[in-house]
Amino acid sequence: MHILLTGGAGFIGSNFVHFVLRNRPQCTLTNLDSLTYSGNLENLTAAENNPRYRFVKGDICDDALVAKLIEDCDAIVHMAAESHVDRSILDSKPFVISNVIGTQTLLDAARKAKGGAWLKKGRFVYVSTDEVYGSLPLEDKSALFTEETPLQTNSPYSASKAGGDMLARAYHHTFHMDVVTTRCSNNFGPYQFPEKVIPLFVTNLIEGKQVPLYGDGKNVRDWLHVDDHCEAVLTALEKGKAGEVYNVGGNNERSNLELTHSILKIMGFGPEMIRPVADRPGHDRRYAIDASKIKRELGWTPTRSAWPHALEDTIRWYKDNAQWWQRVKSGAYRAYYEQQYSKR
Ligand code: NAD
Ligand code: TYD
């Protein structure tokens, strides 16, 4: 199978490249990525000479390029996106362009590829997010997002991802495109851009800096190791049913305060390293996933996300790969992050 992967130079995409090359000897991959601030070819040095892999620098909004690349592929795994909630609060336009227009460009090129013949045999996997469901209350621990939960987006990021998600659904409904959608919880692991909470906090601590905890720290996220997510996407690609949505989660809920204390403990720091900062506007309180459908119907279940070992391994990766994140963290990005939230 030849896969056209979009966003393969980002965190999950680069892990997906390595995962597929390791686990599917018959698969070849073309990685289309425009290398925004979060795209980094250093994530892919181990793959760059592999004859089963090729990189194409380009934008998913480029009709002609996308049309050309789809001609050769059997399946599209669409991960390219603007992915950070805080950035979407500062400026939502790039989110609408990449996450909505970019998805529409890919879907429409797939519809038209090979004079309409691609539509009859190609598969389109849309990598969505649990954030499209909005927020759950902290009080009711039994409440979970299921695939039937209505989409109720709260951030410009999640709204733009829901736009792509609904377009993918529409192309299945209207044109009978073979679309499968995954909606996954928060990922952690190697090569995550250090604006997301785990790599930001871990690398700050290695640098001897405090960690900025938003609001009261009671917000809850369900943490999944990135390789478990990659395996779930591959499972959806290989075994998913056309037109279906599959939730993907780790059954691993932690409040931000709990997560922060775990990181501090593993790294040998005390609570004085927490810097309470103003809350994120519109901050979703709790995400929690019911992932029973993908287990029941496709046999996927997480095996790499067990806490605290998976967190310890991830922290070790950032300690062992300081050059990677030091380069990423230097320059304009640092100023951006420093300005973002004022001290409370
Ligand atoms: P990321 O920001 O690390 O990577 C995104 C990649 O997409 C980058 O390489 C970037 O260069 C590329 N890209 C962005 N706009 C593009 C465009 N217009 N054309 C071509 N390439 C473009 O993001 P990530 O955390 O790896 O997330 C990947 C996908 O998974 C996203 O669709 C995201 O919504 C989804 N997702 C992420 C998480 C998470 O916890 N990180 C959870 C669930 C779903
Ligand atoms: P993040 O990694 O940005 O993922 P998402 O917003 O997509 O869930 O944030 C995870 C949680 O950590 C979220 O509740 C916001 C919180 N957070 C902080 O408290 N401080 C920070 O500096 C960041 C980036 C996030």
Ligand that lies nearest to the alpha carbon of residue 104, given by its number in the listed order: 1
The answer to whether the beta carbons of residues 176 and 237 sit under 8 Å apart is: no
What's the pLDDT score for residue 339?
52
Question: Which residues constitute the domain of residue 152?
Answer: 2-194+224-254+286-307
Residue 167 lies in a domain: yes
* Nearest ligand 1 atom to alpha carbon 192: 3
Residue 297 lies in a domain: yes
Please report the sign of the dihedral spanned by the C-alpha atoms of residue 33, residue 36, residue 42, residue 43: negative
CA of 311 to the centre of ligand 2 (A): 16
Residue 133 lies in a domain: yes
Position 330 confidence tier, pLDDT thresholds 50, 70, 90: confident
Q: Rounded to a whole number, what is the distance in angstroms from the first to the last CA of the chain? A: 52
If phi > 0 it is left, if psi is from -120 to 50 it is alpha, else beta; for residue 117 that is alpha
Distance CA 262, CA 29 (A): 37
Residue 106 lies in a domain: yes
Domains in the chain, number: 1
Per-state percent for the chain, helix, strand, coil, to nearest 5: 45, 20, 35
Indicate whether 176 pLDDT > 50.
Answer: yes
Q: Is the CB of 81 under 6 A from ligand 1?
A: yes
Residue 60 lies in a domain: yes
CA-closest residue to ligand 1 atom 5: 10
CA-closest residue to ligand 2 atom 6: 85
- 3-class DSSP state for residue 303? coil
CA-closest residue to ligand 2 atom 17: 197
CA-closest residue to ligand 2 atom 23: 197
Catalytic residues: 130-131, 157
Ligand that lies nearest to the alpha carbon of residue 218, given by its number in the listed order: 2
Q: Is the CB of 197 under 6 A from ligand 2?
A: yes
Instruction: State pLDDT tens for residues 197-235.
Output: 999 999 999 999 999 999 999 999 999 999 999 999 999
Indicate whether 344 pLDDT > 60.
Answer: no
CA of 129 to the centre of ligand 1 (A): 11
Residue 94 lies in a domain: yes
What's the pLDDT score for residue 126?
99
Residue 159 lies in a domain: yes
Average pLDDT over residues 176-191: 98
Residue 33 lies in a domain: yes
- Side-chain half-sphere of 112: how many Cα atoms within 13 Å? 11
Residues linked to residue 343 through DSSP beta bridges, in sequence order: 277
Instruction: State pLDDT tens for residues 72-129.
Output: 999 999 999 999 999 999 999 999 999 999 999 999 999 999 999 999 999 999 999 9
Indicate whether 134 pLDDT > 90.
Answer: yes
Phi, psi of 334 (to 5 degrees): -60, -45
CA-closest residue to ligand 2 atom 10: 197
Position 337 confidence tier, pLDDT thresholds 50, 70, 90: very low
Distance CA 283, CA 234 (A): 31
Q: Which of 221, 229, 255 to mutate to test the pocket of ligand 2 (most atoms within 8 A of CB)?
A: 221
Q: Is the CB of 220 under 6 A from ligand 1?
A: no
Q: Which of 214, 254, 338 to mutate to test the pocket of ligand 2 (most atoms within 8 A of CB)?
A: 214
Write the CATH number for 186: 3.40.50.720
Rounded to the nearest integer, the mean pLDDT of the chain is: 95
